[in-house]
Structures are given as C-alpha cells and as structure tokens.
Amino acid sequence: MDNLNSFYPTRHLTIGGKILLIDGLTGTGKTMIMRIVSGLNNMQFPKFDYTIEHICILYSLNKLELNSAITLLRLKIDQSRYDYAISREVNFRYKDLSSILHSPDRLERFISLFKNDDYPFDQEIDPKTFALITHQLLDSSKVLDEAFPNKIHRVLCMRHPLYLFNHWSSYIDKHGKSTRDFTIWFNDNNSIIPWFITKNNKDYRDSDHSSKSALAISILTNRSMDFVDQIPEKAVVVDFEKFVLDPEPYVTKILTLLPGSKNKILDSLRKENIPRFHINDTVNKKIYLKYGSDKLRTNLSHKQDYADLKDNVFSKLNAAAKREFNIAIERYEERFKLWY
C-alpha cells in the first residue's frame, strides 16, 4: 500500500442469521433467560464474549473509530460463530451455568469435534441465531446495530435496584483489584474505576464498597431506563420481579421476537421454579449463594421484605449514595411499578 492512511478496515462479508443480545446489569437474571431461550428454533446456545463487550465499550467512549469497531465486531462474531460450529473454544466445564453440557444441542457439539475440515459448516451456521450474553452494555451496544443492520434482536433484563445490592456488594471490590475481573477500568486521579462511572467520580472514589455498589447500580439503572425509552422494535424488556411471578406475557413477546416452541420454554421455566410464589424463591445454586442470594428472604410478605431490605441497605450508605440510589429506585418503580 503506497499510502496506508488512505485505506480503512472493512469486512463486507458476514455470516447470515439473527444475533440475539441478552443484556442487562450483572445480577438481573441473564443466565436464567439464557437457559429459557436456549431451546428456541435454530438457537445457538448463548455464550459470553468479553472481547465483543470491550469493542462496544471502547467505541462508545470514543476510544475507537467507527470503521475499526464495525470491522472488529464482524470479525469477532463471525469467528465465534464458526468456532462454535466446529466445537472450538466451546465451554465444556460442567459446573458453569454457560457450559455447553447444559445445552439442548450438546450432542451435536460433541459430534462436530470429529468432523473433517471439509465439512460444509457454513451451511449449518447461516440459519442459526447467534446468542450473546453481555454485561450492562445498554446504549453502548448500539454500534452492533450499525455493524449488523436489521440482524440485532435484544432481550434486556431489568431488576429492582434494591434486589441487586447484595450481588454488587459481593463483587464491587474486585474492580481494579482482581486479575479475574474483565471489566474495562480507567485511571481517574490515581484511582481505578470501572468504565461506566462517568459522573460523580469523586463520590465513587471516596466511598466504601456498600456506597460504591449503590452508586454503580444507580448510574447503570438510569442508563437502562434511558435505553428502554429508545430501545428498537426487535427487543423484549424483562423486569425480573413480574417475570418470575407471571412469565406468560413475556413468553408471548419472546416468541414473537424469535420462533420456537412454547412447550419448550414452559419446560425451561419449570426448571427455574417459575412462576414463583415469592420473587426470592430462586433455584439454589452455589453461584447464586456466592453473590448473596441467601440474604434475600422468602418468609416475609413482598411488602415487608421490600421495607426491611430498604432499611438495611440504606443504613449502609453515605449521603451521596442514598441520594442517587433513591432516584434510581423511584425511576425504576415509576416505569415498572411494584409487584405487590
């Protein structure tokens, strides 16, 4: 190339099929939704892919130009789809909730391990929906719509801020301190903060882990509300509390978005103990206990449980966190209403 600057990256050929984005804050029930939709027609078992998240985030923060972001996303998603088809880089760890061993097509993935390279994998990939689970991408995911016009479908998972607190409080201190955390961090006046803290930075830096949790949830809940207001037609918004108590309206919307068998979804719901009598009546898995699910109580009425949890959480927060958390709670309840 005589002048490298006159060229820009591109990938004009991409694998066909829909792309399903299961997005929402950490702790909003995305892995639950993952297992529920995994049995839909021509659905690739949903997977996590942090690189795709990182590209979207860096572009949204103006750290990556548009052509580069689009090209990287097309390359990465096509690579992920092909790798899945040939059973390369597939998660076979049984204890992981996202393990292929919990997938309806686990036998097919085993068989693919032994197919020759000249097998026409492309013909199998094209009609399938590529399902991706992401962590609080929200509006930063809009670059995917530019990379894959008319292909992006979304299930956006929401949950009341109070009921996210224990989960976030159990993990917030790992941001910037653990090599096992794959969140993008930024250096702000010699403090490491996660990428989504774009305002009230000083409040966040000066807070303990409880108030940091509340501030992070507040910022992301408000971004979620903004995104819900502008979310495209090919999307279903799932507010956790009403979904686990009465899933029928949401199942109807999901089946409108993506073809599949209602009976398969209902079977998956039963395995998740849905519908539930109480929103805290979760399936007892060790990973949920790790994030404080055992602190949520089912022996109280919904109203009393809510009141006790609110008193307990707010007793741990500084003034700035109380203010922001209350705003986020009020906005969530205005949009989705209370479930009792």
What is the structure's pLDDT at 212?
A: 96
- More confident call, 293 vs 43: 43
- More confident call, 285 vs 241: 241
Residue 244, pLDDT above cutoff 70: yes
> Among 213, 217, 221, which residue's Cα sits nearest to residue 169?
213
Q: What is the pLDDT of residues 264-283, one digit of tens each?
A: 899 989 989 999 999 999 87
Residue 321, pLDDT above cutoff 60: yes
Per-residue pLDDT, averaged over 313-332, amounts to: 98
User: What would the two tokens of residue 337 be?
Assistant: 């209403």
Q: Average pLDDT over the chain, rounded to whole?
A: 90
Per-residue pLDDT, averaged over 244-258, amounts to: 95
Confidence of residue 177 (pLDDT cuts 50, 70, 90): confident
What is the structure's pLDDT at 120?
A: 79
Contact between 59 and 69 under an 8 Å Cβ cutoff? The reply is yes
Share of residues in the chain with pLDDT > 70 (%): 95
What is the structure's pLDDT at 315?
A: 98
Residue 308, pLDDT above cutoff 70: yes
Contact between 57 and 184 under an 8 Å Cβ cutoff? The reply is yes
Residue 340, pLDDT above cutoff 80: yes
Residue 199, pLDDT above cutoff 90: no
> 223: domain CATH number?
3.40.50
Residue 187's Cα: distance from chain center in Å? 25
What is the structure's pLDDT at 284?
A: 64
What is the structure's pLDDT at 2?
A: 58
CB-count burial class (<10 Å; 0-12, 13-18, 19+) for 108: middle
What is the structure's pLDDT at 141?
A: 97
Q: Which of 129-143, 232-246, 249-263, 282-296 has the lowest mean pLDDT?
A: 282-296
In terms of residue numbers, what domain contains 152?
A: 4-336
Neighbours of 117 (CB within 10 A): 6
- More confident call, 49 vs 126: 49
Confidence of residue 39 (pLDDT cuts 50, 70, 90): confident
The domain tally of the chain equals: 1
Confidence of residue 286 (pLDDT cuts 50, 70, 90): low
- More confident call, 80 vs 285: 80
Q: How many Å apart are CA 160 and CA 327, to the nearest integer?
A: 12
Confidence of residue 216 (pLDDT cuts 50, 70, 90): very high
> Among 50, 153, 147, which residue's Cα sits nearest to residue 98?
50
Q: Which of 168-177, 220-229, 302-311 has the lowest mean pLDDT?
A: 168-177
What is the structure's pLDDT at 154?
A: 97
Contact between 46 and 22 under an 8 Å Cβ cutoff? The reply is yes
Q: What is the pLDDT of residues 88-138, one digit of tens each?
A: 888 888 888 778 887 777 888 888 888 887 887 877 787 889 999 999 999
Q: How many Å apart are CA 275 and CA 32, to the nearest integer?
A: 13
> Among 170, 210, 171, 212, which residue's Cα sits nearest to residue 191?
212
Residue 338, pLDDT above cutoff 90: yes
Contact between 191 and 200 under an 8 Å Cβ cutoff? The reply is no
Confidence of residue 194 (pLDDT cuts 50, 70, 90): very high
What is the structure's pLDDT at 189?
A: 81
